[in-house]
Amino acid sequence: MQQHLGRWPLPVTLATLVVLACGGEKKPQPAASAALTPETTGTLTVLDWAGYEDTSMFIGFHQKYPKVTVSVAFGESDADIFGKMKAGADACVFHPYTGWQPFYVRDGLVQELDTTRLSHWAEVPARFKALGQVNGKQYFIPWDWGFTSILYRTDKVPGGIDSWNALFDPKYKGHISMWDDGPGAVTIATYVKGWDETKLTEPQLAEIEHMWTAQRKLNRFYWTGEPELVQGMASGEIWVAYAWQGAYNTLLGQGVPVAYAQPKEKRNSWVGLYGISSACKDTNLAYGFLDEKLSAEQGTTLISSFAYGHVNPAAAKGVTDTNIVKALSLNDPAVLDRTLFTPLVSEADRDHFGQLWARVKAAQ
Amino acid sequence: MAEQRARLWAVLAPPALWLGALLVAPLVLLCGYSFRSGIGGSLFGDWIVTLDNYRTLAATPSFLELLGVSIGIALVVALAATLLAYPVAYYLVFRVRARAGMYVALLLVPFWISYLLRVMAWKVILGSGGAVNAFLLWLGLIREPISVFFYSRFAVVITLIYVWTPFVALPIMATLYRIDRSVLEAAASLGATPGQRFWRVTVPLSLPGVLAGVVMVFIPTVGEYVTPLLVGGSTGAMYGNLIQDFFGRSANWPLGAALAVVMLVGTLVLVGATSRISQVERFIR
């Protein structure tokens, strides 16, 4: 309890103590979003990705607390969001992806969560909860997730694809597209080689660099945004690509003949997290926001509107769109067992991977 | 006297503050960052000075090679754009004269359209399913679309030349306008042929504008990153893309800063040497 009080702003703490000391008639409210009512007003600042400012991304919070304004500022990449938080962005809540959690903790940019203030916390599977922990403490809630796998044109690749090796296959020369990202490229290479991404040796890194440098001649372009990839696949220029399930869903919707591989080395999965800034003053709104994010109803909206996965397993039950069910393998409860979550890599490793990728692109 | 000085300061202060805050300070910070060990910790507090970033750069020949390639691309683009722009400028100044204003406006019309849209237009022209390939396929000259037109270094160079040509025409026009017509008449009355008048009078007198144009294109093109990102594909990256990567998705600002400083110094040295050798002042006087 002491620790709990320690994180409250002093006036709130004093006021609470006075009320308790006076034997106030009101009993202490349940912990979750204690002070929030439909009449609550105020502004919650959020640093998020473009697209996440859509009200349907926080529809539960918006409906419950209609008088609260959610003010969203944008980051364009994880590095950008980290840079903005470091520069002192005025955001109570922010949205990094797996791989970046420890840097926020190291630099004191995120506060430890009191999960007793989240009424939906118990509904989140332990597998997801663990991703928001650093040094055994819960700093983030997991929220949206999705797959990375090989997306391919079934008319151009009639034999189908069952391995990440397809990205390195000379058969598809000039029709492959890889994501423009060093850590992503290293992850895939370790899947192909069967290596542990967190314990790579110098010769292994050299081999990975060699693989991607040779792959460059087969690769048409490195995509930086999903629309670029979707356009390339729809036009028939790209047959085989590193892709997220969102692109698969979009192309299915456009009637393009595509399939999303189930590689023997397993799919990769990424998870989005929400944290509360250590500079956040009104954590009531922030906790209310996070709690509503975790509800099954909010999850169903996220899945149906954006084809992203949601951490609350109950969310999938309300989804009927067959393309989305296919894209997220919602009808396959065991799919996550065949999925590898991106592990945490150290900052030094991340720098190495970034430099490796820069050398691949710079090679003449 | 004192009043005059005060007035001078009043006039100079805003631009000096502007330059100081938005150019000099960021450049100093950039140089500082290139000697920093990482982006962790606070901006001014946890500053560990190191030469590691420059060591990494020196130990990575491909980065420096790419800088060389980028300088080469910038030179080709600057020279090609100038060669294409010169006849346009000459025509506007010596032939059109009266309606030159309208023609200059027409020359600048492309800039009314977003740069991104114009680059996308090149995709429609050069891409695999684009106009050029479709035409060649229709003629039966090729069986498969030629892919080298787009997502290649070739596409980067073509696009950059296209983008810069109208820009270069402007400084050349300015120097051509300033040529005293009586000099040309004197040359004619002394028996110079039109060709001799052009090569021995007009061209030398317009050289400052030509050089200004070349430098104006060269400097920004060395650090170019948007065009290669959009049309360069896997093999068309330029040095600027490395810097952008290190500041962006790799979040390795110190190494990015070291790369930027090396490019800045390299460009300054090259431009300084060029203007020294060509002695532009000689022409301006």
* B39 pLDDT higher than 80: no
What is the pLDDT at residue A126? 93
Pick the residue of B44, B126, B242, B245 with the most A CBs within 10 A to test the interface with A by mutation.
B245
User: Does the distance separating the beta carbons of B248 and A357 come in below 8 Å?
Assistant: no
Pairing between β-strand A339-341 and β-strand A267-276 as defined by DSSP bridges:
parallel
The CATH number assigned to the domain with range A2-145+270-328 reads 3.40.190.10
Higher pLDDT, B117 or A29: B117
B226 Cα to chain A: minimum distance (Å): 12
Dist CA B9 CA A311 (whole Å): 62
What is the pLDDT at residue B281? 55
Helix axes B239-247, B61-90, angle to 10 degrees: 120
Q: Does residue B128 sit at the A interface (CB-CB below 8 Å)?
A: yes
Residue A25 banded pLDDT, cuts 50, 70, 90? very low
What is the pLDDT at residue A1? 31
For A8-23, what is the mean pLDDT? Answer: 40
pLDDT digits (tens, 9 = 90+) for B79-95: 999 999 999 999 998 88
Q: Is B133 exposed, middle or buried, given 0-12, 13-18 or 19+ CB atoms closer than 10 A?
A: buried
Q: Is A50 exposed, middle or buried, given 0-12, 13-18 or 19+ CB atoms closer than 10 A?
A: exposed
* A3 pLDDT higher than 80: no
Chain B residues in contact with A103 (beta carbon < 8 A): 40
For B115-137, what is the mean pLDDT? Answer: 84
For A317-344, what is the mean pLDDT? Answer: 83
For B46-66, what is the mean pLDDT? Answer: 91
Question: How high is the mean pLDDT of chain B?
Answer: 88
Residues contacting residue A16 through CB under 8 Å, at least 6 positions apart:
A5, A8
What is the pLDDT at residue A320? 85
User: Does the distance separating the beta carbons of B245 and A362 come in below 8 Å?
Assistant: no
* A62 pLDDT higher than 70: yes
Q: State percent of chain A over pLDDT 90.
A: 63
What is the pLDDT at residue A325? 86
What is the pLDDT at residue A34? 54
Higher pLDDT, A109 or A23: A109
Alpha helices in chain A (DSSP H): 2-6, 10-21, 59-64, 78-86, 101-106, 126-129, 182-193, 202-215, 226-234, 245-253, 283-293, 296-306, 322-327, 347-362
pLDDT digits (tens, 9 = 90+) for A116-164: 999 999 999 998 999 999 999 999 999 999 999 999 999 999 999 999 9
Residues forming CATH 3.40.190.10 domain(s) in chain A: 2-145+270-328, 146-269+341-362
Q: Under a CB-based contact definition with an 8 Å cutoff, are residues B239 and B256 in contact?
A: no
Of chain A residues 200-219, which have a CB less than 8 A from chain B? 216-217, 219
Residue A199 has phi, psi (to 5 degrees) of: -130, 55
pLDDT digits (tens, 9 = 90+) for A247-260: 998 899 999 999 99
Q: Under a CB-based contact definition with an 8 Å cutoff, are residues A287 and A299 in contact?
A: no
Q: Is B50 exposed, middle or buried, given 0-12, 13-18 or 19+ CB atoms closer than 10 A?
A: middle
Task: State how far the alpha carbon of A310 is from the alpha carbons of A63, A84, A130, A328, in Å.
Answer: 19, 26, 15, 10
Helix axes B239-247, A347-362, angle to 10 degrees: 160
User: Does the distance separating the beta carbons of B147 and A180 come in below 8 Å?
Assistant: no
Q: Is B185 exposed, middle or buried, given 0-12, 13-18 or 19+ CB atoms closer than 10 A?
A: exposed
Q: What are the structural domains, with CATH classification, of chain B?
A: 48-284 (1.10.3720.10)
Q: Under a CB-based contact definition with an 8 Å cutoff, are residues A184 and A211 in contact?
A: no
Going A83 to A84 to A86 to A92, the CA torsion angle's sign is: negative
Q: Which residues of A170-200 are buried (b: 16+ CB within 10 A; e: fewer)?
A: eebebbbbbbbbbbbbbbbbbbbeebebeeb
Structure tokens at A191: 């899947």
What is the pLDDT at residue B126? 82
User: Does the distance separating the beta carbons of A354 and B246 come in below 8 Å?
Assistant: yes
* A16 pLDDT higher than 60: no
Domain range A146-269+341-362, its CATH number among 3.30.1480.10, 3.40.190.10, 3.30.1520.10, 3.40.50.300: 3.40.190.10
Name which of B63, B229, B251 is nearest A224 (Cβ-Cβ): B229
Q: State percent of chain B over pLDDT 90.
A: 53
Q: Does an H or E element contain A108, and which?
A: none
For B270-280, what is the mean pLDDT? Answer: 76
Residue keyed to tokens 């431009």: B271
Chain A residues in contact with B40 (beta carbon < 8 A): 103, 106-107, 347
For B85-107, what is the mean pLDDT? Answer: 87
User: Does the distance separating the beta carbons of A350 and B251 come in below 8 Å?
Assistant: yes
Pick the residue of B249, B255, B262 with the most A CBs within 10 A to test the interface with A by mutation.
B249
Of chain B residues 218-237, which have a CB less than 8 A from chain A? 229, 232-235, 237
The amino acid that residue B55 corresponds to is R
In terms of CA atoms, which chain B residue is nearest residue A179?
B234
Helix axes A347-362, B61-90, angle to 10 degrees: 50
Residues contacting residue A323 through CB under 8 Å, at least 6 positions apart:
A249, A252, A253, A307
Question: How high is the mean pLDDT of chain A?
Answer: 87
pLDDT digits (tens, 9 = 90+) for B180-225: 999 999 999 999 999 999 999 999 999 989 998 999 999 999 999 9
* B99 pLDDT higher than 90: no
Among B242, B270, B221, CA closest to B53 = B242
The amino acid that residue B46 corresponds to is D
What is the pLDDT at residue A364? 81
Dist CA B264 CA B66 (whole Å): 15
Residue A24 banded pLDDT, cuts 50, 70, 90? very low
